[in-house]
Structure 1
C-alpha cells in the first residue's frame, strides 16, 4: 500500500501541469494556494477503517489528501455550488478530468455514469416535493436539484446544486456505521444513490395523492350550481411536473444497472450487492412515474370529454327551448299581419282560443322533449 501511495504522489503532480492547460478554469490556478480556501466546501474529512479521523473538524482538501497519502483511508469532500475558480484547485489536486469538472460546475446535467481513468463520475437528480394547500394551474409540485459524485480509489468528492438534497444527515448516518463506511469510497457512492432513490419513493407517494385528488374531482358528480369538470390547466400542470420527475428517474436506470451488474475496480464487490437493491427501488419508481403519466393522459382526456358532453347537453337544452318559443312566435307573427279580412280577427273568443292553443302546443312539446331527455 505504501508503494502505491508513493506512486500516486509522484504521478499526480506530474499530470497536473498538462491537465491545467486543457481548461480555462485552471488558467488562474495558483499551485501555492490551498484549494480549500473556497467557501463552497461544506465538509471535508478523512476516514480510516470506517471512522472519521478527526471528528468534528473540517479539514482542507489538501490536508485531507496529505493525511490519506501518509496514513491511508480515503477523503470525503462535500461542496455546494462551487464556481469554476473555486473548484479549479480541488480538481487539479485530485486530477479530475476537465469534462467532468465542467459538468460538475455548470450543473443542469442528465443523470449518468462516466469513467475517467481511475475516477467514476456520477450525476444524480434530486427531487423534492413542494407542499401546497391546493393544486392550481401554476403550482410547483416537484423541485429538482443535482448531486455529482467523483469516486476515486482514495477520495469521494460530492458537488451539490440546489437548495434541497443536503448530504449532512447522510454523512452522519454513515459515520455511525463504521462497518459499511469501512468498505471505502464505493460505500459512500452507494449511500448517496440510495438516499436519492429513497427521496424518489417519498415524492412518488405525495404525487400519487395529488393525482388521486384530481381524479376524484374529475369523476365526481358536480354540486348543484357549481361548474362541471376540473380546470384542465391544473391537470396539465401536474402532468408537466410528472414529466420533470420522469426526466430525473429514467436516465438513472442504466447507471444503476451498470453499478449493480458490471464488476468495477472502484466498486467493492460487497457494495455492488447493495446497488442491486437501489436498482430495484429505482425500477419501481420508474414504473410508478410512467403510470402517473399515462393516468394523467386518461384523466385529461376524460375531463375534455366531460366538457364536450356538457356543451352538447347545453346545446340540446337551448335548441329545445328555441323549438318551444318558436310556437308562440309563429302564431303571434301570423295574427300580427295587417290584413282586413282574417278568420277569428273580430271573434269574441278569438284571443282566448289563440292563447289556449299556444299554451297547449308548448306544453305538449315540453313534455315530449323532457321525456326524451332534452330538458
Structure 2
C-alpha cells in the first residue's frame, strides 16, 4: 500500500487515539465503540479500491471518489453517506481550488482531498483534543471537516476585498488606467464567480444534513451544523456583494473611458473649427474670381488678416469657455 497517500489513519477508543495501518481498518470497523478517522491526499485508484474493501463501500461511490471534478453532492447508500464538495483556500498568497470526497459511516469518516493546501490536520487535532462531553465520532468529525472548509473561505474573501480596494483606489484617484485595469477587474469578477460556485452548494449540503440525516446532525451537534450553514450563507452573501461592487467598478471604468473619449473628440472638433475658419477665408482667394474688387484696395490684405485673426480669437475664447479645447 502506497504510504505517501496516507496523511492520517487514526483509531479512537476509550478516549485514546492511535495510528493504525490502512490494512487494519476492517479489524475495528465492526466495533461500534470505536471510531476511525482517515485522511488521504490524491490517492490512486488502487488505494481507493483497497479502502473500499476495508470499509465495505459502495462501488458507485468508489467510482466517484476515483475521478475528480465531481459536482458538489450528497448521496446516501445503505451503510454510508458519500459527500463530494469543492474547496478553496488561500495558499501561498493565491486562491487554491480543490476537491474533497467524504465517506461517512456509523463509526468512521474518510476524507479524500485533491489539492495542494494545508489539509485537515486541524480536524485531527480537534478530534484528539475533544472536550465538553463530545466524543470523537462520525457526527463530530464530519462537522469539523465542513466547518474547516467553510472557514477557509474567509481569508480568500479578505484577500479579494483587499484586491478590490486596491483597484477601486486606482480608479478613484484618477490615475491613468485603461485596458489593463479593465482586464484586472474582469479577472477578479471571474474569480468571484468561481468562488461563488464553490461556496453556494455548501448551504445545500449542511441543510440536507440537518433535515434528512439526524444520525449525523445529532441533537448535541445540531447547533454546530446550523452555525456552519450560517457561515456558508454569510460567505455567499459576501461574495455576491463583492461581485456587485466589481460590476459597478467595471461600469464606472467604462463610463470614465467613454467620457475621456468624448472629451478627446470635443478637443479635436474645437481645434478643427479654429483651423477651418482661416482655411475657408483664405481658400476663397485661390478660386481666381474675375471680380474681386477688394484686391485693389490698399488696406485689404491687413484688414482681412486682422478680421480673420479677430474671428479666430473670439471663437477660441468661446470654445475655451465651454471646455472644448
SS of 1:331 mapped into structure 2: helix
Q: For the residues of structure 1 that align with 2:173 and 2:179, how far apart are their CA atoms?
A: 9
2:40 counterpart residue number = 79
Aligned to 2:73: 112
Aligned to 2:308: 358
Q: Which has the higher contact order (CA 8 A, sep 6+)?
A: 1
Closer, same or farther in 2 for the Cα pair 1:38/1:346, shift >3 Å? same
Task: Say how many residue pairs are matched.
Answer: 325
Could you tell me which of 145, 166, 169 is aligned with 1:192? 145
1:276 and 2:226 matched: yes
Corresponding residue for 2:9?
Answer: 44
Q: Structure 1 unaligned runs (5+)? A: 1-35, 133-140
Change (3 A) 1:210 1:334: same
TM-score by length of 2: 0.91
Question: 2:53 matched to which residue of 1?
Answer: 92
2:115 equivalent in structure 1? 162
2:256 is equivalent to residue 335 of structure 1: no
- 1:293-342 alpha-carbon deviations (Å, 9 max, x no partner): 22222221221122112111111111111111101111121123345653
The CA distance in 2 between the partners of 1:131 and 1:320, in whole Å, is: 53
More deviation, 271-280/92-101? 92-101
Deviation at 1:111, TM superposition (A): 2.3
Whole-angstrom distance in 2 between the partners of 1:299 and 1:50: 55
- How has the CA–CA distance of structure 1 residues 49 and 178 changed in structure 2, closer, same or farther, with 3 Å as cutoff? farther
Mapped contact 1:181–1:188 kept (Cα < 8 A): no
2:193 to 240, 243, 266: 243
Distance, in Å, in 1 between the alignment partners of 2:68 and 2:107 is 24
Secondary structure of the residue that 1:96 maps to in structure 2? coil
Point out where structure 2 has 5 or more consecutive residues left out of the alignment: none
Give the Cα–Cα distance (whole angstroms) in 2 for the partners of residues 181 and 94 of structure 1. Answer: 24
Contact 1:243/1:293, CA 8 A, preserved across alignment: yes
The alignment's C-alpha RMSD in Å is 2.4
TM-score by length of 1: 0.79
User: 1:214 Cα shift?
Assistant: 1.9
Deviation string, structure 1 residues 338-360 (Cα, Å, up to 9, x no partner): 45653343544333323222221
Alpha-carbon displacement from aligned partner over 1:242-265 (angstroms, at most 9, x marks no partner): 000001011111111122344522
In structure 2, what is the Cα distance between the partners aligned to 1:183 and 1:41? 20
SS of residue matched to 2:276: helix
Distance in 1 of aligned mates of 2:14 and 2:142: 17
Does the C-alpha gap of structure 1 residues 145 and 272 become closer, same or farther in structure 2, counting only changes over 3 Å?
same
